[in-house]
Amino acid sequence: MSFDRRAVVIGGIGALAAPFIVRAQGTLERKDVKLGVGGKALLYYLPLTIAERRGYFKEQGLNVEINDFGGGSQSLQALVGGSVDVVTGAYEHTIRMQARGQDIRAVTELGRFPGIVLAVRASLADKVKKPGDLKGMKIGVTAPGSSTNFFANFLLARDGVQPEDVSFIGVGGGASAVAAMRQGGIDAISHLEPVITRLELDKAISVLADTRSEEGTRAIFGGANPAAVVYLRQDFAQKNPNTTQAIVNAFYKALKWLEKATPDAVSATVPEEFYLGDKELYLEAVRKSLSMYSRSGIVSEAGMASARDMLVPFDKELKAASFDLKRTFDSTFIEKAPGIVKL
């Protein structure tokens, strides 16, 4: 497995001089692929919808069936159980699975910082000034065991609060999350766009921690912290190398499209139901999120370490485990994606 940090994207005139997309070399071992995602409408997973709606999977000869679950932990369970072949989910899941001796690896980075926000109900803002003040309260997350849950756990642990000191409630990925806060079912929320912008515009929340920007991410983690990735079982990649390459090619093309896309172009591509009933809201959420998508598709070694260090303070199993962190990301396929060159 190679980790050449000098991989760069062709830009400018050179990129225009040759067709961007080429199919994976060789015959696809499998054209039909089942993919799991936990909250497809969330901007965290936007590259998936772009690859789907702009036909990048079909360009690669793939028929991708997307299974949308309530949260990332459920997508992971589907992969382990064999009901899906590949997942778009949080990079942290690969770390936890490697620690358990299961060879699940990321093959493409989709998000270079998390885009997760921890916020408290506006009516509690005078009482809750930092994550540790949430002790004893109910915190909404996409699903227990998902990246939104991990993020909240990390912030709580920094303030000396353990996961069992709060109640985590799965609120799903869209309108149900907004409703949970509006209806008083939760005291705080750890969530993603466009849910957070909807609640901000409603003046329903007060933000405690924000990783929607590189600046905010560095303030919390001290550096890079990878977010969504494409991950799968290593034996799938070994048995289906051309299919895996085709999947990576499609996602990489989606990342390069997003690098230059405008909010209007994004909103014109996704289904209207992603808007949460308000197109202007969605456009604002996209504006806040476009910078978070990966430019290279590569998870850096510093990012791997940052993600591990986020989990260790509250994950006793991981703290005691011994494993090779580099096995969480296989760069073989992204380094062969069209548009990548080595200097």
pLDDT, tens digit (0-9, with 9 covering 90-100), for 278-337 = 999 999 999 999 999 999 999 999 999 999 999 988 888 888 888 999 999 999 999 999
Q: Which residue has the tokens 């709060």?
A: 166
Q: Give the CA distances from residue 171 to residues 36, 139, 185, 193, 233, in Å, rounded to whole numbers and listed in that order.
A: 18, 9, 9, 14, 28
CATH code, 7-113+225-342: 3.40.190.10
pLDDT at 19 over 60: no
Q: Are 196 and 119 in contact (CB under 8 A)?
A: yes
- The fold of 117-210 is D-Maltodextrin-Binding Protein; domain 2 (3.40.190)
pLDDT of residue 127: 97
CATH 3.40.190.10: which residues of the chain? Answer: 7-113+225-342, 117-210
Q: What is the pLDDT of residues 165-190, one digit of tens each?
A: 999 999 988 889 999 999 999 999 99
**Cα separation of 92 and 229, whole Å?**
9
Residues in CB range of 60: below 8 A, 6 or more apart: 21, 23, 24, 246, 247, 249, 250
- How high is the pLDDT of residue 315? 86
Structure tokens at 220: 């919390």
Query: With pLDDT > 90 as the criterion, what percentage of the chain qualifies?
Result: 82
What is the pLDDT at residue 12?
35
On the question of pLDDT at 3 being above 90, the answer is no
- What value does the mean pLDDT of the chain take? 90
- Amino acid residing at 79: L
Terminal alpha carbon distance of the chain: 18
Amino acid making up residue 217: T
What's the rounded Cα separation, in Å, for the pair 249 and 263? Answer: 23
In this predicted structure, what is the pLDDT of residue 17?
32
pLDDT above 70 covers a percentage of the chain that reads: 92
What is the H or E stretch that residue 249 is in?
A: helix 241-260
> What pLDDT was estimated at residue 70?
85
For the record, the structure tokens of 20 come out as 């961007």
For residues 329 and 141, is the Cβ–Cβ distance under 8 A? Answer: no
pLDDT in tens, 61-98: 999 999 999 888 899 999 999 999 999 999 999 999 99
Residue range 104-120: mean pLDDT, rounded = 96
For range 152-158, the mean pLDDT: 95
Q: Span 205-211, mean pLDDT?
A: 96
Task: Write down the pLDDT at residue 75.
Answer: 95
C-alpha span between 67 and 48 (Å, rounded) = 12
What's the pLDDT at 340?
61
Q: pLDDT tens digits, residue range 258-269?
A: 999 999 999 999
Residue 278 or 338, more confident: 278
